[in-house]
Amino acid sequence: MMRHDLPTEAWIKSSYSGDTQGQCVEFQAVSDGGVAVGDSKDRNRGAFVFPPAAWGAFVAGVKSDGGI
């Protein structure tokens, strides 16, 4: 689901983004337990919100592949 009503101060930049400004993948927790993922250089486009189970599966998959 796409959302546009997310707080601007709650975004967390990926630690892999380094010191770049405005060109990062960001995420934040949302009230229903899901996770919003957005593009820092264009927050006006909104963010994709993933349900908790989908986000958990994604993180587990990345970790099992040695990506984290």
Long-range Cβ contact pairs of 33-40 (< 8 A, separation 24 or more):
36/3, 36/6, 38/6, 38/11, 40/11, 40/13
Evaluate if residue 68 carries a pLDDT over 60: no
Neighbours of 41 (CB within 10 A): 12
Structure tokens at 66: 């040695």
Query: 34, 57 in Cβ contact below 8 A?
Result: no
Confidence of residue 66 (pLDDT cuts 50, 70, 90): low
Confidence of residue 53 (pLDDT cuts 50, 70, 90): very high
What pLDDT does residue 28 have? Answer: 92
Q: What is the pLDDT of residues 8-47, one digit of tens each?
A: 888 888 777 666 666 688 899 998 889 999 888 887 788 9
What pLDDT does residue 15 have? Answer: 73
What pLDDT does residue 5 have? Answer: 84
